[in-house]
């Protein structure tokens, strides 16, 4: 946790003291976001894999992007007489509208449409005739975010909304 706090403070310091960015989202622009989440959805027990996400945005028009999203997390629980391993994954497409409200910060809001899959594995296994529980289905969401490039190609982002986590923070790369 201390390492995570050092990384967060370092990112905020870089963002505050860097003023040479351009936030306008343009047609043809591509960004890859790699994030870690806080406040994961759908898990019990102790996280074994923190909520991680990978998303891609491509500017199909000025201020409008379309892309993909993948998120994954896992945890486990020990109830004494059994152990359970939980996994949760989302894969989908997302679209966003970008508007610069603050100079140098690409703020955006959008929608995500995808598929989520949650599963549980028990040890020892459930008795014969009991299916291993897993669920999946259509996932949809609204999200809000902000992106700040502290160099021409590297930046930080923060997103709020339904995904693998309610809060997602990470690095963004223009490609």
> 59 to each of 42, 72, 99, 161, 173, how far by Cα in Å?
32, 25, 13, 21, 14
pLDDT of residue 45: 65
Mean pLDDT score of the chain = 83
User: For the segment 138-175, what is each residue's pLDDT rounded down to a tens digit?
Assistant: 989 999 999 999 999 999 999 999 888 899 999 999 99
Report field, pTM of the whole predicted structure over 0.85: no
User: For the segment 44-88, what is each residue's pLDDT rounded down to a tens digit?
Assistant: 667 788 999 999 999 999 999 999 999 999 988 887 777 888 889
**Lowest mean pLDDT across 10-14, 78-82, 111-115:** 10-14
- Name the percent of the chain lying above pLDDT 70: 79
pLDDT of residue 145: 96
pLDDT of residue 124: 75
Separation CA 87–CA 92 (nearest Å): 17
pLDDT of residue 131: 63
Region 87-103 average pLDDT: 93
Burial of 90 (0-12, 13-18, 19+ CB in 10 A): buried
13's enclosing H/E stretch is helix 2-16
| DSSP 8-class letter at 126 | P
Separation CA 175–CA 126 (nearest Å): 47
């Amino acid at each position: 946790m201390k390492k995570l706090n050092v990384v967060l403070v370092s990112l905020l310091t870089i963002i505050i003291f860097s003023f040479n960015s351009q936030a306008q989202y343009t047609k043809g622009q591509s960004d890859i976001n790699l994030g870690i989440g806080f406040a994961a959805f759908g898990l019990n027990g102790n996280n074994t894999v923190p909520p991680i996400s990978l998303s891609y945005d491509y500017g199909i028009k000025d201020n409008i992007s379309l892309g993909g999203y993948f998120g994954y997390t896992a945890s486990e629980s020990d109830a004494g007489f059994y152990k359970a391993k939980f996994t949760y994954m989302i894969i989908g497409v997302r679209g966003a509208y970008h508007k610069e409200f603050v100079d140098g910060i690409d703020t955006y809001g959008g929608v995500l449409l995808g598929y989520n899959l949650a599963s549980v594995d028990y040890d020892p296994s459930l008795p014969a005739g009991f299916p291993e529980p897993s669920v999946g289905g259509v996932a949809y969401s609204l999200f809000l975010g902000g992106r700040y490039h502290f160099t021409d190609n590297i930046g930080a982002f923060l997103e709020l909304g339904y995904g693998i986590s309610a809060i997602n923070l990470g690095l963004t790369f223009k490609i």
